[in-house]
A and B are shown apart, each in its own frame.
Chain A
Amino acid sequence: MKKFLDKSFMTALVAVFLGLVAGAVLMVLIGSNPFSGYLYLFRGGLMTIERVGNTLATATPLILTGLSVAFAFRTGLFNIGAAGQMLIGGLCATAVGLTLVLPKPLLLTVMVAAAILGGAAWGLVPGLLKAKFNVHEVVATIMMNWISYWTVYYVVPAYYKGAYLETESRKIPDAASLKVEWLTDLFGGSYINLGLFLAIVSVIVIAFIIDRTTFGYELKAVGFNRHASEYAGIKANRSIIISMMIAGALAGLGGATFYVGYASNIQIGVLPTQGFDGIAVSLLGGNSPWGVFGAALFFGMLHSGKGFMNAMTRIPPEIADTIIATIIYFSATSILIERNWDKLKKRMGGAK
């Protein structure tokens, strides 16, 4: 296991490095200095305590959607529906936050629970379809994305219309925000919120479930080989449904951290890109919970630094997106990297 981690960690590092090199080439091609470009990109993400806070806040939903995709993947399922699960989670949390009047700790608890349940429901449907009718989860989760898109499109203007705009919900009251004063102050007024702790706890819990419990043993077994699991007496259908529900719940929680943490209202007509970025995060993180955590932080930094880079140099912020895309390419072709890595190691060993 440790060996595997080491290897996928090295692969990720190489993918990141190659992505950065590709970004540098692009910067040179448009006539900019890549060194100052990267300097401002990283400074934009890390320069001040406030920017660090924003990096963490940007990373928070990515951790959870990445974890959602990674967890599903470890149990043999491909969850393309993190965006929809996240959106519906956000809607549930927002709806509770705008409706109930409760003391903050209690209200937040109910909101988070609502987000988790909403996401889980959005995972339950594809899970059931897969288990009972063998509908491929990729198809089902993509459909669920659009169901949540249109649900928000209808529900928000109908019940939670904003004060000035038809296209977004009212702002949630302070008592319903995952932002808390001490944390915001600690990070110089950034967007950071309690969602980060929820994300970290999720990483720990999921890592524990996957590696240490009989429950995780069953889920992984079904993911690796459904037939053999059934042979061993594991209820494969039940495992598939539960896996999808947990994956959905994680993405739903990610929605809460975004819509009632990072932001304070919900827009219609937008599927959150974090849902799809979760696939990239999971890939770069080698589908392991802590790998996802690291990858999400890195992507969070790129996202929150790119504005500063754009302001200080003439490099467009799209370069940062291109770097992310390139890194994804390199992680996706990680087998190539691994093979060359092995070859290189062999040659070095031979030289000694």
Chain B
Amino acid sequence: MKYVVEMLNIRKEFPGVVANDDISLQLKSGEIHALLGENGAGKSTLMSILFGLYTPDRGTIKVRGKKVNITNPNIANELGIGMVHQHFKLVHNFTVTENIILGMEMKKGIVLDTKSAAIKVKELSERYGLNVDPYAKVEDISVGMQQRVEIMKMLYRNAEVLIFDEPTSVLTPQEIRELMGIMRNLIAEGKSIILITHKLKEIKAIADRCTVIRRGKLTGTVDVAFTSEERLAEMMVGRQVSFSVQKEERQPGEVVLDIRNLSVLSSRKVLGLKDVSLQVREGEVLGIAGVDGNGQTELVEAITGMRKAQSGRIFLRGTDITDMSVRERIKAKMAYIPADRHKHGLILDYSIENNMVMKVYYQQPFSSNGLLNSDAIRGYARRVMEQFDVRSGQGPGASARSLSGGNQQKTIVGREIDQNPEVLIAVQPTRGLDVGAIEYIHKRIVEQRDNGKAVLLVSLELDEILNLSDRIAVINGGEIIDIVDADKVTENEVGLMMAGVKRGETA
């Protein structure tokens, strides 16, 4: 079989790092080729080279057997290489068609000819089974649909090779399944696909071959059909990884966090959370499953005191904390791993040690009479770093910015768990982390549960919810659709509930 794209012996160096070291990737025509690697392994650098954003220091790129020099994205486009970005690049108050033709508008004289463009869009939509209304405004359509608009943009530009950058991270399980169907349609129509991902399950489900890179070096290219998930993970991380989280059987105890009829306004001043009641008990992980933007932020921020509750009460160990300040809640032993570690979790320009004491700096022994005690702070930071395996080249005095994503997250997890909290609120605790760090953080969260603490886990990763939770509350449109026992529910059922379908109803 012929190769459409060949990247041979690519090397790219940035000051101080070799991002790609002698990496080769060959894409057969009509295949789905997965590109697998941890964060920072060099996946995006490699794809940016193919897309013309970087020029390689060494190596050759061939498209359809011909050697090419891709110096900017326009050349990539002309060669029929298109990229579906992880964060969509769409104009929200434009229609689907307007977005698709943006940059290559058809004209009738000086007037924009959207009509014939819309017809072409409709044609494409039917041909690939994309089901997109050309006249819908982007702000009115679902995230999955927006992604299809992005795909359509590529098709409209006659792309033959499509690069998907982590395409499933924003989708529900059903939408993921639809996307896979679309990808198969594309292949059937003769396109070729490179799929950048770190989700092994998806690779197994859809990819033909898989190229794995680790720390800028090629680990190998394998046939997916003959390679197990465990083997893929091992190739990616460089050691064996366990997927299942070991959990002891545990009988949940008393109620720790009690949320009663909570309603919260969203940033747009409409009710983002409507009359929600939840209870989290000792020795239990309650998972909140849901698609992003369905009230999780409002729920978590109301519990942690970052946002006012519109109505309803929140109790922690029987004490009404609804009107308490953030600091009072922290003192009441509420720990919180926030979803955005750069915005909320860390002060990146502060040292690691200063970040470690972010919530306790004003207490003994870290300060007395308003004076910081730097020895105590450093000693404490050292201990937590050791305990939670935070690796910093320059010790606790280095800035938090200098840490890798995984170590930044471990810093936060360490800080929060070391408070010995009554309740731990963990939001997307492993977002963007590699398999090794995920495994570690999951272990520490389950450990909290095993020690009889209450854990509220909010995650967009359904696997994470299913693996860690004892009970699952599914949230949709600001309401709790249902609360179910984790071992009595299938992924499919949860997925349907995430889309707003209650159990017993037909989809």
* A contact set with B: CB distance below 8 Å: 212-215, 217, 220-221, 224-225, 227-235
Q: Which residue among A228, A230, A235 has the maximum number of chain B CB atoms within 10 Å of its CB?
A: A228
| Min distance, Cβ B264 to any Cβ of chain A, angstroms | 17
Q: Bound state CA distance, A212 and B367, in angstroms?
A: 10
Question: Is B42's CB within 8 Å of the partner chain A?
Answer: no
Across the interface, which residues of B come within 8 angstroms of A225, CB to CB? 343, 346-349
Question: How far is B368's CA from A214's CA once the two chains are assembled, in angstroms?
Answer: 9
Known: A215-B370, A231-B338. 11 other contacts (CB 8 A): A214-B371, A220-B350, A224-B347, A224-B350, A225-B348, A228-B345, A228-B346, A232-B359, A233-B326, A233-B330, A233-B359
Cβ-based interface call for B3 (8 A): no
Neighbour of A233 across the interface among B325, B338, B343, B346, CB < 8 A: B325
Contact check, B326 vs A221: say whether CB atoms are below 8 A apart: no
Could you jot down 28 A-B contacts, CB within 8 Å? A212-B371, A212-B372, A213-B367, A214-B361, A214-B370, A214-B371, A214-B372, A215-B370, A217-B354, A220-B350, A221-B354, A224-B348, A224-B350, A225-B343, A225-B346, A225-B347, A225-B348, A228-B343, A228-B344, A228-B345, A228-B347, A230-B326, A231-B304, A231-B326, A231-B338, A232-B359, A233-B325, A233-B359
Given contacts A214-B362, A217-B354, contact A229 B370 (CB under 8 A): no
What separation, in Å, do the CA atoms of A65 and B354 have in the docked complex? 29
Q: In the bound complex, how far is the Cα of B370 from the Cα of A217, in angstroms?
A: 10
Nearest B residue (CB) for A222: B347
Cα-based distance from A224 to B401 in the complex (angstroms): 12
Please give the distance in Å from A80's CB to the nearest CB on chain B: 23
For the complex, what is the distance from the CA of A233 to the CA of B325, rounded to whole Å?
A: 7
**Complex Cα distance A3/B9, Å?**
40
Closest to A217 in B: B361
Residues of A within 8 A of B350 (CB): 220-221, 224
**Does B91 count as interface, using CB distance less than 8 angstroms?**
no
Q: Which of A214, A221, A235 contacts B347 (CB 8 A)?
A: A221
CB-CB under 8 A from B372, the residues of chain A are 212-214, 217
Q: CB of B336 within 8 A of chain A? A: yes
Chain A positions within 8 Å of B346 at CB level:
225, 228
Q: How far is the CA of A227 from the CA of B345 in the complex (A)?
A: 9
Interface check B358, CB cutoff 8 A: yes
Is the pair B371, A230 in contact by a Cβ cutoff of 8 Å?
A: no
Instruction: Report whether over half of chain A's contact residues are helix, strand or loop; otherwise say mixed.
Output: helix
In the complex, chain B residues 215-240 whose Cβ is within 8 Å of any chain A Cβ: none
Q: Which residues of A are found within 8 Å of B370, using beta-carbon distances? A: 213-215
Any chain A CB within 8 A of the CB of B136? Answer: no
Check B306 for interface membership: any CB of A closer than 8 A.
Answer: yes
* Residue with the greatest number of chain B CB neighbours at <10 A, chosen from A217, A231, A235: A231
Q: In the assembled complex, which residues on chain B have CB atoms less than 8 Å from the CB atom of A232? A: 326, 330, 358-359
Q: Is the CB of A224 within 8 A of B349?
A: yes
Q: Hey, which chain A residues are within 8 Å of B326, CB to CB?
A: 230-233
Q: Quote the shortest CB–CB distance from A42 to chain B (angstroms).
A: 38
Instruction: Write the nearest CB–CB distance from B392 to chain A, whole angstroms.
Output: 16
- Whose C-beta in chain B lies nearest to the C-beta of A232? B358
Interface residues of B in 300-337 (CB under 8 A from A): 304, 306, 325-327, 329-330, 336
**Could you say which of A214, A231, A234 contacts B306, with CB atoms under 8 Å apart?**
A231
Measured between alpha carbons, how far is A225 from B345 in the docked complex, in Å?
10
Cβ distance B299 to chain A, nearest Cβ, rounded Å: 16
Q: Are A227 and B358 in contact (CB under 8 A)?
A: no
Query: Known interface pairs A225-B347, A227-B343. Does A214 touch B359 (Cβ–Cβ under 8 Å)?
Result: no
Closest 4 CB pairs of A and B: A233-B327, A233-B326, A232-B358, A231-B344
Task: Kindly list chain B residues whose C-beta atoms are within 8 Å of the C-beta of A215.
Answer: 370
For the complex, give the distance between the alpha carbons of A217 and B372 in Å. 8
Q: Which residue of A lies closest to B336 (CB)?
A: A231
Instruction: Tell me the smallest distance from the CB of A55 to a CB of chain B, in Å.
Output: 35
Cα-based distance from A212 to B344 in the complex (angstroms): 24
Return A134 CB to nearest CB of chain B, in Å.
14
Closest-CB distance, B500 to chain A (whole angstroms): 31
Which A residues touch B330, using CB under 8 A? Answer: 232-233
Measured in the bound complex, the distance between the Cα atoms of B391 and A20 in whole Å is 45
Q: What separation, in Å, do the CA atoms of A225 and B401 have in the docked complex?
A: 13
Instruction: Give Cα A233–Cα B343 distance, bound, in whole angstroms.
Output: 14
CA distance A235 to B325 in the complex (A): 9
A221–chain B nearest beta-carbon distance, Å? 6
Contact: B344 with A214, CB < 8 Å?
no
Q: How far is the CA of A228 from the CA of B346 in the complex (A)?
A: 6
- Shortest C-beta distance, A217 to chain B (Å), equals 6
How far is it, in angstroms, between the C-alpha of A232 and the C-alpha of B343 when the chains are bound? 12
Identify the closest chain A residue to B329 (Cβ): A233
Q: Which residue of B lies closest to A211 (CB)?
A: B372
Smallest beta-carbon distance B173→chain A, Å: 31
Which chain B residues border A213 with CB–CB below 8 Å? 367, 370-372
CA distance A260 to B189 in the complex (A): 85
Chain A residue nearest to B363 (CB atoms) is A214
Distance between B377 CB and nearest chain A CB, rounded to angstroms: 10
**Bound CA–CA A217/B344 (angstroms):** 17
**Smallest Cβ-Cβ distance to B415: which chain A residue:** A232
Shortest distance in angstroms between A278's beta carbon and chain B's nearest beta carbon?
A: 23
- Taking CB atoms, residues of chain A closer than 8 Å to B336 are 231
Contacts of B348 in A (CB 8 A): 224-225
Alpha-carbon distance A229/B362, docked complex (angstroms): 13
How far does the alpha carbon of A224 sit from the alpha carbon of B343 in the complex, in Å? 11
CB-CB under 8 A from A229, the residues of chain B are: 347
Distance A212 CA – B371 CA, assembled complex (angstroms): 6
Q: How far is the CB of A234 from chain B (nearest CB, A)?
A: 8
Residues of B within 8 A of A220 (CB): 350
Chain A residue at minimum C-beta to C-beta distance from B355? A228
Residue of B nearest to A229 (CB): B347
A230 near B306 with CB under 8 A, answer yes
Q: Which of A213, A215, A224, A233 has the most CB of B within 10 A?
A: A233
Contacts of B359 in A (CB 8 A): 232-233
**Alpha-carbon distance A107/B349, docked complex (angstroms):** 44
